[in-house]
Amino acid sequence: MQYDPVKDRFATYVSIFPGFRSLFYKLLDAILLRQAYVKKAINRHFRDGNLFYDAGAGFCQYSDYVLRKYPAAEVFAVDLKTQYLESYAQVADNRFSFQSADLQTYKPQRQYHMAIAIDILEHIEDDLSTLKNFHAALVEGGTLIISTPSDLDEAAKFTEEHVRPGYNKLELEQKLENCGFEVLSSRYSYGFWGALSWRLLLKYPLKMFSRSRYSMPLIAVYYFLVFIPARLMMLMDLAGENHCGTGIIIEARKKH
């Protein structure tokens, strides 16, 4: 399945209707389990006044979260999709800056206290160069947060934008250590309950939406029926310890 056309369609709506952006971010929080994992990790390590590097920023929802929660923070976002970054820059304050760049070759001029790479490594051929660039982009002791599909995610194998079908968790930990990081936390996300919530809240509605833009009324009814049970599944995934899962969340520190 191709997710980029669906993302582009949502990005167009956000650009045309500025008031839709905050609602769209709340919708992402409501249906994407990984956002809860990532924000929890951000709050564990980030401090107000720090510099934040949003690598592969996409819709800039994490940039927006940091700017709102930490009033003295500065955020720098990078993505290949310039239009996403330009769209968010129009509503952000002067603590936000951005650049379109290829993460395989790009090193920011400044060093940051935290970098995040959320569901981007599976799209990048030269992941080792990318991890080394993240290492260079961080101050000593700076934190890198990664979210990526695991090699147990069958759906990742059929996502056309992916260059690899997810990661083996131990392999990714080893790559980070080889690039100069200390792994602080490594866990599976989207265990049994989380994966089921993902199918209910994202996979099936996106399929309907990709077939027809006029399916929104049907999707609204669908969400009315499944939203509360699926949200409970997400909470169960967050509260438990998954022995396996279709996602990986890693927190790593640049070694002193």
At 108-156, the pLDDT tens digits run 999 999 999 999 999 999 999 999 999 999 999 999 999 999 998 766 5
Taking all residues of the chain, what is their mean pLDDT, rounded to a whole number?
90
Sheet holding 112-118, edge to edge: 96-100, 74-79, 51-55, 112-118, 138-149, 247-254, 181-189
CB 35 within 8 A of CB 29: yes
Q: Is the pLDDT of residue 6 over 80?
A: no
pLDDT tens-digit map of 32-63: 999 999 999 999 999 999 999 999 999 999 99
Please choose, from the candidates 33, 12, 39, the residue with its C-alpha nearest in 3D space to the C-alpha of residue 24.
12
- What is the mean pLDDT of the segment spanning 242-249? 95
Q: Is the pLDDT of residue 81 over 60?
A: yes
CA distance linking residue 47 with residue 212, whole number of Å: 43
Q: Which CATH architecture has domain 4-191+243-254?
A: 3-Layer(aba) Sandwich (3.40)
